[in-house]
């Protein structure tokens, strides 16, 4: 507390707000999944509800990036938290009173996704405004550790709530965490950054796109995640709860898997706090190769729960460590005045196909089988990982955030 990122008041407030809201976010996936499955029992309906979150996020994230570069970023986050508290509170009320219908959840989650589209680029770009440059990777690692702790605690809380009180309480908790996050962000005062010339919205978007496409490592990895999140992660997200429900023992088993991923994420956050490899993106993607395709294959095979849990642990380490080095790379290499817009292009590129994957996973599984769909996701993920590691701009990337003055290649 006496030195580093947490010694700085602005970062402590940001850290507190994001930690609390992250806890609620980690309760929601399991609670929302079983809310929809309890209503209709349809994985297709679950995919549509999840897609309803993502499509509006994609529709608004570029506009969110422009406004986060124009306005105080913590205020953009504050308004987003308020809107998401209202939508999750309304979803919880419908579920708890027994009046929820799938179309209502789709509409409310679409509003949630719209607000998230403004929050995402602002939250990435605000971190360098709250800490000294030398503490940037530490700040991202601490935020990652907080999210990892939430990933550990959230599914456990959700599993207990779903099993005892019902999934509506998970969404109610998420709403309350957004209120608490907004309370911390309302106390955050950040000196304004260097103003960028005010232009039309389309001109500002084009400027952000030019910066984005000039960095090979940036657009290649965004493209990787576009394909992986749609055809690797989305099938797991939609079909994993169904596998747990029918072959692994129910919501409790899925909660254990998510908790294991949370434990791994905690370890990955600690790794990001202490380790600064010369080629951070290479290291992060090698972690992906070790665990992620195997996790998908183990779900496809209805493997013993202990094996799936072990692979989820590795997958958690992978995701948390990658998030730390990725956020640090973008914040270090992109000019501050363009950071929200460029990160919005990253979000858009990464998530562009995810709604398709979420909506299609259920019908594909109905057509070819749950196991075949997950095996296909595993194979595609492995191919994508090999391909992205073959790109020199990714494999040889060296961030200036290492503090050794090493330049980061742009191509």
Structural domain spans, the chain: 8-188+198-400
What's the pLDDT score for residue 2? Answer: 56
Burial class (CB in 10 A: 0-12, 13-18, 19+), 132: middle
Burial 10-26 (b: 16+ CB within 10 A, else e): bbbbbbbbbbbbbbbbb
What pTM, to 2 d.p., does this model score?
0.72
What's the pLDDT score for residue 406? Answer: 40
Under 8 Å between Cβ of 254 and 244: yes
What's the pLDDT score for residue 28? Answer: 81
Distances (CA, A) of 163 to 131, 157, 168: 42, 10, 11
What's the pLDDT score for residue 237? Answer: 85
> Thinking of the domain 8-188+198-400, which architecture would CATH place it in?
Up-down Bundle (1.20)
Give residue-wise pLDDT tens across range 371-400.
Answer: 999 999 999 999 999 999 999 999 998 865
Rounded to whole angstroms, how far apart are CA atoms 411 and 41? 48
Rounded to whole angstroms, how far apart are CA atoms 332 and 127? 11
Place of tokens 């595993």: 378
Under 8 Å between Cβ of 213 and 219: yes
What's the pLDDT score for residue 135? Answer: 82
Q: Which residues contact 210 (CB under 8 A, 6 or more apart)?
A: none
Give residue-wise pLDDT tens across range 277-324.
Answer: 888 899 889 988 888 999 999 999 999 999 999 999 999 898 888 988
Burial 154-178 (b: 16+ CB within 10 A, else e): bbbbbbebbeeebbbbbbbbbbbbb
Q: Which residues of the chain fall short of a pLDDT of 50?
A: 1, 402-411
What's the pLDDT score for residue 140? Answer: 86
């Amino acid at each position: 507390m006496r030195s580093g990122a947490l010694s700085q008041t602005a970062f402590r407030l940001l850290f507190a707000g994001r930690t609390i809201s992250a806890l609620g976010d980690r309760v929601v996936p399991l609670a929302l999944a079983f809310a929809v499955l309890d209503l209709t029992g349809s994985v297709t309906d679950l995919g549509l509800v999840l897609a309803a979150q993502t499509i509006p996020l994609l529709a608004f994230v570029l506009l969110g990036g422009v406004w986060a570069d124009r306005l105080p970023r913590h205020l953009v986050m504050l308004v987003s938290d308020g809107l998401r508290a209202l939508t999750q509170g309304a979803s919880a009320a419908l579920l708890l009173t027994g009046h929820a219908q799938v179309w209502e959840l789709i509409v409310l989650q679409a509003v949630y996704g719209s607000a998230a589209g403004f929050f995402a680029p602002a939250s990435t770009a605000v971190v360098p405004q709250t800490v000294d440059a030398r503490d940037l990777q530490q700040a991202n690692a601490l935020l990652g550790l907080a999210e990892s702790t939430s990933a550990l605690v959230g599914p456990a809380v959700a599993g207990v709530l779903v099993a005892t009180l019902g999934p509506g309480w998970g969404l109610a908790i998420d709403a309350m965490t957004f209120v608490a996050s907004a309370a911390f962000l309302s106390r955050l005062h950040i000196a304004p950054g260097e103003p960028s010339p005010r232009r039309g919205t389309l001109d500002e978007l084009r400027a952000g796109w030019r910066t984005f496409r000039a960095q090979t490592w940036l657009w290649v990895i965004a493209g990787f995640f576009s394909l992986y999140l749609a055809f690797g992660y989305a099938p797991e997200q939609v079909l994993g709860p169904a596998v747990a429900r029918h072959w692994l023992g129910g919501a409790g088993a899925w909660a254990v898997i998510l908790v294991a991923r949370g434990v791994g994420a905690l370890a990955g956050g600690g790794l990001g706090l202490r380790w600064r490899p010369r080629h951070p993106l290479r290291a992060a993607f090698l972690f992906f190769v070790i665990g992620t395709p195997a996790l998908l294959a183990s779900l496809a095979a209805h493997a013993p729960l202990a094996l799936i849990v072990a692979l989820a642990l590795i997958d958690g380490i992978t995701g948390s460590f990658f998030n730390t080095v990725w956020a640090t790379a973008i914040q270090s290499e992109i000019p501050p005045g363009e950071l929200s817009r460029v990160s919005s292009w990253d979000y858009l590129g990464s998530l562009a196909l995810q709604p398709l994957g979420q909506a299609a996973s259920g019908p594909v599984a109905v057509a070819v089988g749950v196991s075949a769909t997950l095996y296909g996701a595993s194979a595609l993920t492995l191919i994508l990982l090999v391909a992205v590691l073959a790109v020199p701009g990714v494999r040889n990337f060296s961030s200036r955030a290492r503090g050794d003055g090493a330049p980061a290649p742009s191509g």
